[in-house]
Amino acid sequence: MSFDLVLFGGTGDLSWRKLMPALFQAFKHGTLPEGARIIGVGRDDLSDERYRALILSRFEEVDLAKRPSADEFERFSSLLEFVSMDLSKPEHYAYLKDKLAQRPADTVVMYLATAPTLFTTIVEQLAAAGLNTPQTRVVLEKPLGHDLASNRAINHSVAQVFSEKQVFRIDHYLGKPAVQNLFALRFGNALFEPLWRREHIANIQITIAEELGVEKRGGFYETTGALRDMVQNHALQLLCAIGMEPPINSHADAIRDEKLKVLRSLKPWTAETLAQDVIRGQYAAGAIGGAAVPGYREELGVNPASNTETFVALRTEISNWRWAGVPFYIRTGKRLAGRDARIVVNFRPTPHAIFNSQMGDANRLVINLQPKDGLELHLLAQAQDKRQNSNILAPVQLDLDFDKRFGGERVGAYERLLLDVIDGRLNLFVRSDEQEEAWRWVEPMLTYWKADAQGPRPYAAGTWGPSATSAMIARDGFCWAEEC
């Protein structure tokens, strides 16, 4: 199958940092279909050779394991071409059309790795040039808008040009092997499903923590913040994967229908819950790995009086028969105590204690997403206390490391998702109504913060965020996994 991948934003950060390494890995693994052509699009005046040289130089900055050898890059670079375009000029799209017509492909993928403000312009110009054929697929990167209204406007413009089955709204978290195993854990095994409900689960915690600050992306982060950057998409997608009902089959719409039901079942916000159950923070100066780091307001490109949040923690519930009354806690932030993405499912204690143990919350399932990838099942086992000659319960755990088990067989998130786009598989992509429902639920928080003169709570870099986060979960009688 021949295909063309047209990469708008072909010289941008996302392209060289994520997309080109993923495409190379697919090429190296032999999973990239033959007859491939990758066309970078940008404002720069570059020849094909200069573009290849630029990409080669950028490969020096990616992980060592993802760098090609000289021979590998020579073969991979034969797929790369470049087109200089001003995205507002119709004649440049006409030139792109002529270039694509030189070698008709079975599938054409238009990947919009640009600012979301350009999405409408690009899709309208593609249609005007006749480049929205039935063989065309369009990939939209996050964030898709900055609120519900802008998201709807983009989706409306795209729907005028492409059918829903041609649109791939990408959330790279859904391509992570660990998230794939979350679906496999729930729907490929009979072990946990009978327990996956309010009668057996006390609470669920979703953590997406980063040690890094905003680095050189201060200007971008000032207009985004942690809520838009992480909660509206990644965290809510994880919540849906945990909370959804089993789909009738593995088809894309069956899965996305169930995720949509979860989003529609999230408990609506009130003035009281917005004040008590949502914590926003901003990192101050502190230490990471023993090295001093600056506060967010001292970062390059950041307003010295900024109220942009770098941390969000919240409590919510899914108001349906399965989950009624079970709190779901989400927290995400930058400059935290560690790089750690995980889901912790805390089971209820036994209804009647017959052993001498105070560890009532010891039964938990930990789904590690990064940097570790795997499952931990925490249990209690009987141990003999020789000093007291009595039986006591001691914590034990079963630990499954997927990287050790599967090793080189694992496929990275962007590699997986790019191959799915080329093959037309929509299972791991977000539908428009699903995305709009997520924005609808998030928007009251944005509105509340606009009127909140207090601003984000400061927290020292290298900690787990504002102390109010612990107080929020303690009101329910629980604690974060690392605090228990």
Token pair of 369 as six digits: 């997403």
Closest-CA residue to 459 (of 257, 283, 209): 283
Cα distances from 424 to residues 36, 73, 227, 416, 463, in angstroms, run 15, 27, 30, 12, 43
Cα-based distances in Å from 266 to 71, 263, 323, 378, 442: 52, 5, 10, 28, 11
Q: Beta partners for 378?
A: 364, 397
- Phi first, then psi, for residue 245 (nearest 5°) are -75, 155
3-state SS class at 233:
helix
Q: Report the chain's terminal Cα–Cα distance, integer Å.
A: 54
Q: Give the whole-angstrom CA distance, residue 171 versus residue 256.
A: 13
Tokens 């095994």 label which residue? Answer: 189
Concerning whether 234 is annotated as a catalytic residue, the answer is yes
Closest C-alpha among 433, 402, 345, 420 to residue 179: 402
Tell me how far CA of residue 121 lies from CA of 141, 157, 162, in angstroms.
Answer: 15, 9, 14
Q: What is the number of other CB atoms lying within 10 angstroms of the CB of residue 244?
A: 23
How far is 225 from 227, CA to CA, in rounded Å? 6
Catalytic residue (one of 146, 234, 251, 352): 234
Helices (H) and strands (E) in the chain, counts: 17, 17
Catalytic residues: 234
